[in-house]
A = this chain, B = another copy of it.
Amino acid sequence: MRVIVDAMGGDNAPIEIVKGALEAIERSKDLNVVLSGRRAEIQPVLNGVSERIEILDAEDIIAFDESPAAAVRNKPNSSLVIALEALKARDDVCGLVSAGSTGAVLTGAFMKVGRIKGISRPALAGVLPTVTGGNVLLCDCGANVDCKPVNLLHFAVMGEAYARALGVENPKVGLISNGTEEGKGNALTKEAYALIADSGLNFVGNVESRELLSGNIDVAVVDGFDGNLVLKTCEGTAISIFSWLKQSINVGGFRAKLGAMFLKPALKSVKHTLDYNENGGACFIGVEKIVMKAHGSAKSASICASILQVAALAEADIIGNIKKRVDVLKAEIGD
């Protein structure tokens, strides 16, 4: 298994990225990593030569504030574009990890790797923790605004294949809506409901966003604008709750401070559960190879988690499974 990593993408590149790659090959003996970027900056972090790490020279870097399409077109020697071209060209590479600009990674993957035939729009699938100790996939969590019903059907198909690749048997697919009854929703979700209900997936119908982290569903299907809203509301609410708790502790006198001291490991564990940085990245599914977008501020632990996740998804043949499902859909509903 060989994963290519954009060594220059992200706030902490290249040091944390390269460290993450080293952690990943340490953790998985069958894994090889290809790093794209500036050899002079990567080599010192590697601290020696490993036959399981290869460097692809790339001198340019795409910054977070560049226009994605223009950057991908105009910087053929950037670490991201070099990585994407190798991903497309090389059969020995199963997927890619980048902590660079989300727009550039998505646009680049679309332009350079290409989408799976039959998938109308690739989507960004985020992995969130649930209170039952599992995960829920939020798909799409930001790649596509202004979706059509068929896009949501494809998000459901891809999210389900992703959940299966993560080891979930017969994943429960829910459609995020403003109420659970079948008639609830906006024009988009009402039409999408009918399509997904006919798709042969294990569709549990409409689900309120209140239920997202409850563990009741494995895949939450949503338009990318709304998925982004939901994801960032989760994040903002968590930040706010910890801020309120801190305020209450500060005005709560000795008793509260003592309590906080004793409760610190428990509070830390909850923060850890919610930490993007520890939970790998979001997968851009629907392109011909596995593309994992790590958080821009990712440190080595997160990069390592992302690399291992790409390897696991490749092992489970997520791309092949999406293609099979697309073929079934075409046969079943003539799409």
Residues of A within 8 A of B (CB): 130-131, 142, 145-146, 176, 178, 185-187, 189, 208-214, 224-226, 228-230, 232-241, 243-245, 247-249, 252, 255-256, 258-267, 269-270, 273-274
Contact = CB atoms under 8 A, between A and B. Distances in A.
Given A142-B178, A145-B185, A240-B213, A258 B248 contact: no
B233 A230 contact: yes
A252 B266 contact: yes
Nearest to A240: B213
A265 B256 contact: yes
Given A178-B228, A210-B235, A252-B265, 8 more contacts: A130-B240, A131-B244, A146-B186, A237-B241, A245-B267, A248-B270, A255-B265, A256-B265
A233 B262 contact: no
Contact of A264 (B235, B237, B259, B274): B259
Nearest to A242: B241
A187 B230 contact: no
Contacts of A248: 265-267, 269-270
| Count of this chain's copies in the oligomeric assembly | 2
A214 B236 contact: yes
- Dominant secondary structure of chain A at its interface with chain B: helix
Contact of A236 (B142, B211, B266): B211
B273 A263 contact: no
A187 B241 contact: no
A313 to B, nearest CB: 26
Contact of A229 (B130, B209, B214): B209
B232 A234 contact: no
A262 B255 contact: yes
Contact of A230 (B130, B229, B273): B229
Contacts of A225: 178, 185-186, 189, 226
A142 B214 CA distance: 22
A244 B270 contact: yes
A210 B232 contact: yes
A243 to B, nearest CB: 4
A230 B273 CA distance: 21
Given A178-B145, A186-B225, A236 B259 contact: no
A226 B146 CA distance: 13
Contacts of A146: 186-187
A259 B270 contact: no
Contact of A237 (B234, B244, B262): B234
A226 B188 CA distance: 12
